[in-house]
Structure 1
Amino acid sequence: MSKTPSPCIDVCKFRRPGPAGSHCIGCSMTKEQKKISKRVKGKAREAFVALVVSQQKVMGRYDHWRGAYLKRCLKKGARAPEIVRKAG
């Protein structure tokens, strides 16, 4: 199995306002979170994905993300984190 992919689904348009600044319409991450996601490895990456999923639930309108992320995991030969597999 490959490592857990970043929560980014390659949309990268920062148009959603939020308390931490502008959020991506694809994954809900801010630019700072995207920088951090590149440095996070191993089990910490799964925890980071869980943080993003929680952020999406609070913000709303991210139903498209789960399907796109699962497809990305499949393409990379990686197992999606438990929180993503259980949701939906």
Structure 2
Amino acid sequence: MAPHLNTLLEDGEPNSDSGNRCSGNSLGPQARLVKNGSVDLFDGPRTLAPGESENVCFQIRLVTDTPTSVEGKSVDVSFNFHATTA
């Protein structure tokens, strides 16, 4: 199922007007998930000042060419964030 999921990260919160889309600017490319693998969803490192925070909205959708054979299936996804100090 993972290869049929298109993922996009944006700097913002879900847009309450549409109910299912993020409202910010894209933080990286749209990418399909990879079974048993990893995908870099950010364009590059993100920098935050001490005490600063950032909202990141995850938009995950089935791609239009998803076969009916995945109907009723599920997938477990994990997101890892690695933080370092300068």
Structure-2-length-normalised TM-score:
0.31
TM-score by length of 1: 0.31
Q: In proportion to residue count, which structure has more strand?
A: 2
